[in-house]
Amino acid sequence: MFNRACLALALLAGVFATVLSPAPAHAMTDSWAEWAPISGTSNDYSTTMTQRSAGFPKAQMASDSRVNVALPSGASTFLDAGTPPGAKYGSSRGSAYINLRPKADTPSGASTTTYAFENPTPDTGWAFVLGDIDSDQVQVQATDENGDPVSAAEISSWFQGSFNYAGGTDQPTWNPATSTLTGNPTATDTNGASGWYEPDIRLTSLSFVFTRRAGFPVYQTWFVSRARPIGGTVADVSTSGSCPVEDSVLTLVSPYGEELATTSPSPDGSYSFGEFATQDGYIVRLTKPDGCATVGQTEATVSNRGNDGDPASRADFEVRQIIPQPISGTVRDDAGTPVPGATVTLTRPDGTTATTTTAADGSYLFDDNFPGTGYSVTLTVPDGYTPGPDGTTRPDITVDDTAITDQDFVVNQLAAVSGTVTGGGQGLGGVQVRLVPADGGEPITTVTDGDGNYVIDGVPPGDYTAEIDAPEGYTGPTTRPVTVSTSDVTGVDFDLTRPGAIGGRVTDAATGDPVAGVTITVDGPDGPVTATTDDAGGYFVEDLPPGDYTITVTAPDGMRVVGESSRTVTITSAGEIRGGQDFKVEKVASPTPTPTPTPTPTPDPTPTPDPTPTPDPTPDPTVAPAPGGDENPPAAPDPGPPTETSSQSSLPETGGPSWVFAALGVSLMLAGTVLTVTARRAARRRG
């Protein structure tokens, strides 16, 4: 009761802290993540984790946790403003988090949960929290934006400390050498022990390896992210007339080329896309109003990592009325798709130059050109393209009183290589794929998304080797030859095999208690493998290739198997985890001693009756019966070794043959019977 009261007071204090603590003084919005419903079955779960900050890539989660994976609502368990992450990002109350478990409740049955991001994450402004780490431990693993493993030293730099969200004193410890968060030294089940992390590099995947130390543990995971605004102005700098800036269109593009939002300025020229996840590399593109020219840049790269109003988070543009005479055109690929952001340079007859970039629709324009001959326009071919059939320069342009509007360019988009990486028939996210040129050039890399798909754009023609690093626990071909020409290459797939596992428990049939030290033999394609049950009665055998497996339990000394002692299961290339392979045993009763036959003693001529006969055995009142349901019932008293029957415990012999006494007894019985019958007949006659 005392512990429950303390916990209630701690939670109540957290509520007051949440209500009374002032909001952080910064122009930003912090939001805890949301989750799609969980799908799958035991040891094969998946869901999608979405940070609420716009522009933060979604993550596909896959876990081989055992059953009872759940998404609590956050109404009763949350990180309030009194916790370190709650103080920085605000309370998580009302925001869901995920509960996960080991693959099996044995020390060797660690589960792996991987979050594969659809694009690399921001390198700042987000955090994750691992909670309820007490009788268990979690190792943190990750891959960077290139798909390379992140070092333990780098992961340790993310660790912000441990705390207890329930107000208790128990806190886990962090091992920087192994990137592992471990619960209390005694592996005691407590509440609220947590650690939190803030990654500072871009990640393509994040994994948690969860290991049981005692009991039946569960751990919790929260994600949170920060968003700041992106905006700017479009100014009219016309010297005569005007340009309607509100007719401009601005497009926000992610660092990975995805269009995130569009907007138009207000009449005063100001615009805002709203708040987006904090990171470098956003691109803002301007589509100018009809009849206007862009002065200077038509696109800008911005970062919203700083506070609101930081110049780095603003993209400002200038437009004006077109001054005759203009030179304009478009840049498109061989499929007719606009190519935005391509650099185009105008060279005037006097040798001076002007440079611009193509807008979202692929257009460009140079105006305010004096009449003359000898103008030229040159395209810088963007990455991922090759020059088209008409080259990259338009020479000998003459400017007179007519607008020059047809200086167009076509570029050929380089081929793309795509495929899927699967393991046991399911897509594997976060796997690095490399195209290694045969001529020894630098590899081109990418990372699979949450469904195991990948695309490498802009691959020059040539011979390559496509290769992957098989994730831990998977086997199969990891290289493939690829020849690239001008067309896309599809179907460069990798199909890996995942080994399976078998696990279960052995319990006492009478009490249900776990039985440790029981030998389990798993016999399959590679021969027999033995395991021994732990203190929880559990066993777990991993790394089993596809095939049929016979599981046999061998009862320890003093026990026997109850029910079946052997069964057969099948593991396919999908690498199933065949849990629940349970057996029961029971104690074998001690055998009843076999009495030794009574020896025949020498006849004693003077029989003497035994004056002190042996009394009947009486239960010892000091030995209480074992109560039902105890985990460790008291052992029955040791009866000691069997005792031979004493000759003094039977009547003594009289010296004569034993058959004489038997005959005498029979005669006396017959005589008694005759006398009784005679007396009854006489009585009837008298009556």
Contact (CB, 8 A) for 651 and 598: no
Query: Looking at residue 116, what is its pLDDT?
Result: 95
d(CA 91, CA 433): 39
d(CA 384, CA 128): 36
83-103: b (≥16 Cβ within 10 Å) or e: bbbbebbbbbbebbbbbbbbb
Q: Which range among 47-51, 161-165, 327-331, 670-674 shows the weakest confidence by mean pLDDT?
A: 670-674
What does the pLDDT average to over 329-352?
95
On whether residue 232 sits in a domain, the answer given is no
The bridge status of strand 500-508 relative to strand 577-578 is: parallel
Task: Please report, rounded to a whole number, the percentage of residues in the chain having pLDDT higher than 90.
Answer: 69
What single letter denotes the amino acid at residue 687?
G
Q: Do 423 and 343 have their domain in common? A: no
On whether residue 82 sits in a domain, the answer given is yes
β-pair partners for 140: 208
d(CA 418, CA 412): 18
Does the pLDDT value for residue 533 go beyond 60? yes
* Domain final residue pick, 374, 390, 413: 413
Nearest residue to 550 via CA among 577, 529, 534, 535: 529
- Highest averaged pLDDT of the listed ranges 1-10, 34-43, 308-317: 34-43
Query: Looking at residue 42, what is its pLDDT?
Result: 87
Of the pLDDT bands very low, low, confident and very high (cuts 50, 70, 90), residue 596 is low
Does the pLDDT value for residue 111 go beyond 80? yes
In residues, how long is the chain? 687
Contact (CB, 8 A) for 233 and 253: no
For residue 675, give the 3-state DSSP assignment: helix
**Burial zone of 659 (CB within 10 Å; 0-12 exposed, 13-18 middle, 19+ buried):** exposed
What does the pLDDT average to over 127-137?
97
d(CA 175, CA 220): 19
Q: Do 425 and 337 have their domain in common? A: no
Query: Looking at residue 3, what is its pLDDT?
Result: 42
Does the pLDDT value for residue 686 go beyond 60? no
Q: Do 561 and 490 have their domain in common? A: no
Q: Do 436 and 557 have their domain in common? A: no
On whether residue 460 sits in a domain, the answer given is yes
Residues 307-337 pLDDT 10s: 666 788 899 999 999 988 899 999 999 999 9
- Highest averaged pLDDT of the listed ranges 543-552, 570-579, 628-637: 543-552
Does the pLDDT value for residue 685 go beyond 70? no
Tokens of 147: 């798909």
Residues 448-505 pLDDT 10s: 998 999 999 999 999 999 999 998 878 889 999 999 998 999 999 999 988 889 999 9
Tokens of 186: 């005694």
Of the pLDDT bands very low, low, confident and very high (cuts 50, 70, 90), residue 243 is very high
Q: Which domain holds residue 366?
A: 327-413
**Burial zone of 386 (CB within 10 Å; 0-12 exposed, 13-18 middle, 19+ buried):** middle
Query: Looking at residue 240, what is its pLDDT?
Result: 81
On whether residue 70 sits in a domain, the answer given is yes
Of the pLDDT bands very low, low, confident and very high (cuts 50, 70, 90), residue 591 is low
Q: Average model confidence (pLDDT) for the chain? A: 84
Task: Please give the distance of CA 678 from its chain centroid, rounded to a whole number.
Answer: 101
Q: Do 389 and 513 have their domain in common? A: no
Q: What is the CATH number of the domain that holds 221?
A: 2.60.120
With a CB cutoff of 8 Å and minimum separation 6, the contacts of 57 are: 117, 118, 119, 120, 121
What does the pLDDT average to over 642-667?
36
Task: Please give the distance of CA 254 from its chain centroid, rounded to a whole number.
Answer: 26
On whether residue 261 sits in a domain, the answer given is no
Task: Please give the distance of CA 148 from its chain centroid, rounded to a whole number.
Answer: 18
For residue 585, give the 3-state DSSP assignment: strand
Of the pLDDT bands very low, low, confident and very high (cuts 50, 70, 90), residue 296 is confident
On whether residue 458 sits in a domain, the answer given is yes
On whether residue 280 sits in a domain, the answer given is no
Contact (CB, 8 A) for 414 and 459: yes
Q: Do 53 and 161 have their domain in common? A: yes
Q: Do 66 and 213 have their domain in common? A: yes
Nearest residue to 235 via CA among 308, 291, 286: 286
Tally of domains within the chain? 4
On whether residue 345 sits in a domain, the answer given is yes
What does the pLDDT average to over 664-686?
48
Contact (CB, 8 A) for 103 and 72: no
* Domain final residue pick, 587, 610, 638: 587
Of the pLDDT bands very low, low, confident and very high (cuts 50, 70, 90), residue 1 is very low
Does the pLDDT value for residue 357 go beyond 50? yes
Q: What is the CATH number of the domain that holds 550?
A: 2.60.40.10
What does the pLDDT average to over 278-303?
93
Q: Do 420 and 537 have their domain in common? A: no
Q: Do 70 and 145 have their domain in common? A: yes
Query: Looking at residue 597, what is its pLDDT?
Result: 62
* Domain final residue pick, 370, 391, 413: 413
Q: Which range among 179-188, 440-449, 659-668 shows the weakest confidence by mean pLDDT?
A: 659-668
d(CA 538, CA 531): 10
How are the residues of the chain apportioned to helix, strand and coil, as percentages rounded to the nearest 5?
Answer: 10, 40, 50
d(CA 681, CA 237): 152
Of the pLDDT bands very low, low, confident and very high (cuts 50, 70, 90), residue 580 is confident
Q: Do 504 and 520 have their domain in common? A: yes
Query: Looking at residue 654, what is its pLDDT?
Result: 30
- Within 10 angstroms of residue 135's Cβ, the number of other Cβ atoms is 20
Q: Do 197 and 138 have their domain in common? A: yes
Q: Do 69 and 148 have their domain in common? A: yes
Contact (CB, 8 A) for 499 and 575: yes
DSSP 404: B
